Amino acid sequence: MKDNIIQATVSVAIGALAAYFNILLIPVLVLFAVMVIDYCTGMASAYKNKEIKSKTGLIGILKKLSYLVLVCVGGVVDYLICAGLASVGIDYSSYCFGLIVAVWLIINELISILENLSELGTPIPPFLVKIVHRLKDSVDSKTDYDTDKKE
């Protein structure tokens, strides 16, 4: 009986989060996956270079957790904007700030993964590095342009 209540509670919580984050669910899952891959490749690189330290690993984990908090901050900003617009009668439901933050963090994690793989001696195709850096530049320039346009 107790197990069923716990399972039902977890299912409801996950369902509520999926409904709340709606469009952010997939980017957050991708972000989580690339964070795990980045952490693993970073630890492998540190092990290869004999630089592995528990304090550095803990700082890495805390940094990854702060990424998730940052996406939540973007989601809260989106919620506040939607609530503010709803109070004046404008129907607007979008999670663009949370989505932009998630995509930006995913691209940063991809760059870090490529750097870690390079340190491990993995041959990286130059076009892949260029594409990832171009994506980062595109996201940076698009958000800078939108910010400048609103000010």
Q: What is the pLDDT of residues 89-112, one digit of tens each?
A: 887 767 688 888 988 899 899 989
Comparing 90 with 147, the larger pLDDT belongs to: 90
**Distance between CA atoms of residues 8 and 147, nearest Å:** 43
pLDDT for the residue numbered 67: 93
Q: Does residue 123 lie within any of the structural domains? A: yes
Specify the number of domains making up the chain: 1
Q: 87 falls in which pLDDT band (50, 70, 90)?
A: confident
* pLDDT exceeds 60 at position 147: no
Residue 10: inside a domain, yes or no?
no
* Dihedral angle, C-alpha 122, 134, 78, 85, nearest 10 °: -170
| pLDDT of 129 higher than 80 | yes
- Structural domain contains residue 76: yes
- Cα separation, 10 vs 6, in Å, equals 6
Collect contacts of 56-64 with beta carbons under 8 A, ≥24 apart.
Answer: 64/35, 64/38, 64/39
Residue 16 has pLDDT above 90, yes or no: no
Q: Is residue 125's pLDDT more than 60?
A: yes
Q: Using CA atoms, how far apart are residues 140 and 136, in angstroms rounded to an integer? A: 6
Q: Please indicate, yes or no, if residue 2 is contained in any of the structural domains.
A: no
Confirm whether 29 is domain-assigned.
Answer: yes
SS3 content of the chain, % helix, strand, coil (to 5): 85, 0, 15
Contact between residue 95 and residue 75 where contact means Cβ atoms under 8 Å apart:
yes
Q: Residue 81's domain spans which residues?
A: 23-150
Per-position b or e across 87-116, b if 16+ CB within 10 A of its CB: eeeeeeeebebbbbbbbbbbbbbbbbbbbb
Instruction: Evaluate if residue 149 carries a pLDDT over 60.
Output: no
